[in-house]
A and B are shown apart, each in its own frame.
Chain A
Amino acid sequence: MTPANTALACENLTVPGRLTEISAALRPGELTAICGPNGAGKTTLLRALAGLEGAALEKGSVSLGQTPLAAMDPRLRAQAIGYLAQHAEPAWNLTVAALVRLGRLPHRTSRADDDAAASAALAALGCAHLAERGIHTLSGGERARVLLARVLAGEPGWILADEPLASLDLGHAAALLRHFRALADQGTGVVLVVHSLAHAMNHADRVIVLDKGRLAADGPPQTALSEEVIEHVWGVKAQWTGPAGARALSL
C-alpha cells in the first residue's frame, strides 16, 4: 500500500440537516472509528471526507494535505482516497477478478499492473481462490471481503469504509479488523464507520462520536467512549468490563 503522507482534515463542515460545523484533522497511520446513534451523520461525514458531498456542503471544506478536495482532479482524489460504500450491490454478476480490477480505474495503468494489484489485494484478504467466481454467487461475508479488496487494489493512502463489518461473522470481522490495523501500522489512514462500540474501543486509535450531526466527542477511545459519553449520546447506562484491548460493554 502507498503510505498516506498527508493528513485528511475537515473544517466547519456543515451539510444542512445532517452535519453541523464538524472539524477534525485525521492523521495517516491511525485507525479512526466514527461512532454514533442511527441518523447521527456518520455516513454523511465519511462521504464528505471522501469528497462525495461537494454539492451538498453548505459551508466548510475537506482538505488532503494543503489541497481542498473540491479543487482536486477527481481521478487524483480517487487515487488517494479509497471509499467503500455501505450498500454497494453490484448490478452485474462480474467475476471477482474483474470487480476487484475496478479499483484500478483511477490509475490508468497497464492490464498486467492492474491484474497484479488485484491479485495482491485478493490474496491479502484470503480471497484469491474466489477470483473466477461470479460476485452474485458469493456468501455475504465473501462478498464484503471482495468489495474491500476492490478498495485495496487501488492502493490508496486513505481507506474510508462505511460499516465494513456489518455482514461479517465474528471470525471474519476479527480478521478484517486485524487487516485494517496492519494497514494503519504501514502508514495508511483508515477511517471506519462502526456500530459496535466494543470494536471501536478495542481496535481504534481514535474515536469520533457524532450526535444529531454534531461532534459529541473526539479522542482516544478510552475518553471518547467513556461511560458518561455513552449515557449522554446513546441514552444508555453501560459499563466497560474486562482488560484493555478486550473490553466488553455491559448494559
Chain B
Amino acid sequence: MTRPVSLLILALAIAVPLSLLAGQVWLNPFAPQAANAFTILAELRAPRAALALVIGAGLGGAGAAMQGYLRNPLADPGLFGVAPTAAFGAVLSLALGLGGLLPLAALAGAALAMAALALIAGNASGQNSATLFALAGLMLASLSGALTSLVISLAPNPFALSEIVTWLMGSLESRSWHDVLVAAPSTALGLLLLARAAPALDALTLGEETARSLGVNPVRLLWLMVLGTGLVVGAGVAAAGIIGFVGLVVPHLLRPFTDQRPSSLILPSALGGALLLLLADCLCRLLPLAGGELRIGIALSLIGAPFFLRLLLRLRSELA
C-alpha cells in the first residue's frame, strides 16, 4: 500500500468515530449516555457519515479518473452533464409534489444523460472523443440548467419553490440508511468501472494517438468513463443534491503525493474525497446557523474556493 493511501486510511479511522460523536448534541463515549444517544448514533449520525463516505469516495475517485481522461487538472466529474440532468429529474419530482420519488427521478435523469451521451458514443470513432464529450456534456448541462430554471419559475407554490432551492444546495441532513442503500451500490459499481479504465487512462497520458498505439480501445474507454462517472454522480445527486468541488480539488491536492499516473490517483482520491466530505459535513453540523444547518454544497465552496485559489497562486509559475 502506498504512503498516501495508508495515511488517508489512518485519517479516516480517526475521523469516522469523531464524526459520530460530534454535533449539536455531543456524545461522550466515557460518560453515561442520555436515553436517546443510541438513536442519535444509529439513526442520524451513522447513516449520515456513511453517506458522506460513499458520496465523497465516488466524487473523489471519479474526479481523478475524469482529470486523467481529459488530461486536464481542472476537469471535474460533472463535466459530462450528468449532475445537472439528475438534478433536473429531482427538481421535477419536487415540483410535482412527488418528493418520495426524488432519488428515483434523479437516477432517471442521470440515466437520460448517459443515454444521450451513448447516442453520440455510438457514432464516435474514438478520435478526439474526450473533447467531443466534454462539449456534449456542456450542452447537456446547459439544457438541464435551463429546464431546471423553467421548473423553478413555474413552481406551484412558495413551499415547493423553497424546497427545490434548498435541495439544490446539496445536503446530508436527515438522511437515512435508505439513502445509503440508494447511493452505495451504484457508486461502488461506478468506481469499479472507473478502476477498469485506469490502465487506459495511464496510456492516455501520452495522448490519444499513443494510447491507441498501445492497444487502448478509445470507444470502450469512453463507455467506461460515461457509465462510471454517470453512476457515481447520479447516485450522489439522488442522495444528497449537487455537491461540487470534491471531484475537482481532491485529485489535484493528492497528485503530488503519487507518481502522477491517473491509475495511482483514483484510490487516494476516493479516500480523500470521503474524508473531505465527512469533515465538511461535521462542520455543517457544528456551525450554529439561524435558519438551520449550513448546506454542505455552500460549505465546501466557502472553504474550498479560497484554498484552491491560494494553491493556484502558489502554482501559477508551474502552470504557466
Bound: A103/B203 CA distance, A: 9
Bound: A9/B261 CA distance, A: 35
Q: Is there a chain A Cβ closer than 8 Å to B295's Cβ?
A: no
On whether the beta carbons of A88 and B206 are closer than 8 Å, the reply is yes
Q: Is there a chain A Cβ closer than 8 Å to B216's Cβ?
A: yes
Q: Is there a chain B Cβ closer than 8 Å to A102's Cβ?
A: yes
Interface residues of B toward A: which range?
A: 20 to 34
Which one of B71, B126, B206 contacts A102 once the chains associate, using CB atoms below 8 Å?
A: B206
A91 proximity list for chain B (CB < 8 A): 71-72, 204-207
B202 proximity list for chain A (CB < 8 A): 102, 105
On whether the beta carbons of A88 and B260 are closer than 8 Å, the reply is no
Bound: A47/B261 CA distance, A: 26
Bound: A224/B262 CA distance, A: 45
On whether the beta carbons of A94 and B213 are closer than 8 Å, the reply is no
Please, which residue of chain B has its CB at the minimum distance from the CB of A150?
B206
Given contacts A91-B205, A99-B205, A106-B215, contact A83 B210 (CB under 8 A): yes
Please, which residue of chain A has its CB at the minimum distance from the CB of B209?
A85
Count the A-B residue pairs with Cβ separation under 8 angstroms: how many? Answer: 81
On whether the beta carbons of B199 and A94 are closer than 8 Å, the reply is no
Question: How many whole Å from B265's CB to the nearest CB in chain A?
Answer: 9
Bound: A213/B102 CA distance, A: 58
On whether the beta carbons of A50 and B199 are closer than 8 Å, the reply is no
Given contacts A52-B209, A85-B213, contact A92 B255 (CB under 8 A): yes
B212 proximity list for chain A (CB < 8 A): 52, 74
Q: Is there a chain B Cβ closer than 8 Å to A133's Cβ?
A: no
Most A CB within 10 A of own CB, among B213, B216, B261: B213
Q: Is there a chain A Cβ closer than 8 Å to B125's Cβ?
A: yes
Q: Which of B205-225 contact A (CB under 8 A)?
A: 205-207, 209-210, 212-217
On whether the beta carbons of B207 and A88 are closer than 8 Å, the reply is yes
Q: Is there a chain B Cβ closer than 8 Å to A237's Cβ?
A: no
- Binary interface encoding of chain A residues 77-91 relative to chain B, with 1 for a CB under 8 A from any of its CBs, else 0: 111011101011111
Question: How many whole Å from A168's CB to the nearest CB in chain B?
Answer: 19
Bound: A95/B209 CA distance, A: 21
- Binary interface encoding of chain A residues 32-75 relative to chain B, with 1 for a CB under 8 A from any of its CBs, else 0: 00000000000000010011100100000000000000000111
Q: Is there a chain B Cβ closer than 8 Å to A98's Cβ?
A: yes
On whether the beta carbons of A89 and B207 are closer than 8 Å, the reply is yes
Which one of B125, B126, B206, B213 contacts A90 once the chains associate, using CB atoms below 8 Å?
A: B206
Question: How many whole Å from A105's CB to the nearest CB in chain B?
Answer: 5
Bound: A22/B147 CA distance, A: 53
Given contacts A92-B261, A94-B259, A105-B199, contact A77 B215 (CB under 8 A): yes
Bound: A154/B204 CA distance, A: 16
Q: Which of A188-241 contact B (CB under 8 A)?
A: none
On whether the beta carbons of A102 and B259 are closer than 8 Å, the reply is no
Please, which residue of chain B has its CB at the minimum distance from the CB of A104?
B214
On whether the beta carbons of B213 and A50 are closer than 8 Å, the reply is yes
On whether the beta carbons of B215 and A92 are closer than 8 Å, the reply is no
On whether the beta carbons of B260 and A83 are closer than 8 Å, the reply is no
B261 proximity list for chain A (CB < 8 A): 92, 94, 98
Given contacts A47-B209, A106-B214, contact A94 B260 (CB under 8 A): yes
Bound: A99/B259 CA distance, A: 10
Please, which residue of chain A has its CB at the minimum distance from the CB of B265?
A92
On whether the beta carbons of B71 and A105 are closer than 8 Å, the reply is no
Given contacts A55-B125, A83-B210, contact A92 B217 (CB under 8 A): no
Bound: A134/B259 CA distance, A: 9
Given contacts A78-B214, A81-B213, contact A105 B207 (CB under 8 A): no
Q: Is there a chain B Cβ closer than 8 Å to A2's Cβ?
A: no
On whether the beta carbons of B206 and A75 are closer than 8 Å, the reply is no
A98 proximity list for chain B (CB < 8 A): 259-261
Question: How many whole Å from B255's CB to the nearest CB in chain A?
Answer: 7
B127 proximity list for chain A (CB < 8 A): 55
A87 proximity list for chain B (CB < 8 A): 207
- Binary interface encoding of chain A residues 93-135 relative to chain B, with 1 for a CB under 8 A from any of its CBs, else 0: 1110011001101100000000000000000000000000010
On whether the beta carbons of A94 and B209 are closer than 8 Å, the reply is no
On whether the beta carbons of A93 and B203 are closer than 8 Å, the reply is no
B209 proximity list for chain A (CB < 8 A): 47, 52, 83, 85, 88
A93 proximity list for chain B (CB < 8 A): 260
Chain A interface residues toward B at CB < 8 A: 47, 50-52, 55, 73-79, 81-83, 85, 87-95, 98-99, 102-103, 105-106, 134, 147, 150, 154
Chain B interface residues toward A at CB < 8 A: 71-72, 125-127, 199, 202-207, 209-210, 212-217, 255, 259-262
A-B residue pairs in contact (CB < 8 Å), sample of 15: A55-B125, A55-B127, A74-B212, A75-B215, A82-B213, A83-B209, A85-B213, A92-B205, A92-B255, A92-B260, A92-B261, A94-B260, A102-B205, A102-B214, A105-B202
Q: Which 3 pairs, one residue from A and one from B, show the smallest C-beta to C-beta distance?
A: A78-B215, A83-B213, A91-B71
Further 17 A-B residue pairs, CB within 8 A, beyond A83-B213, A92-B205:
A47-B209, A51-B213, A52-B209, A55-B126, A55-B127, A78-B214, A83-B210, A88-B209, A91-B71, A94-B259, A94-B261, A95-B259, A95-B260, A98-B260, A105-B199, A105-B202, A105-B216
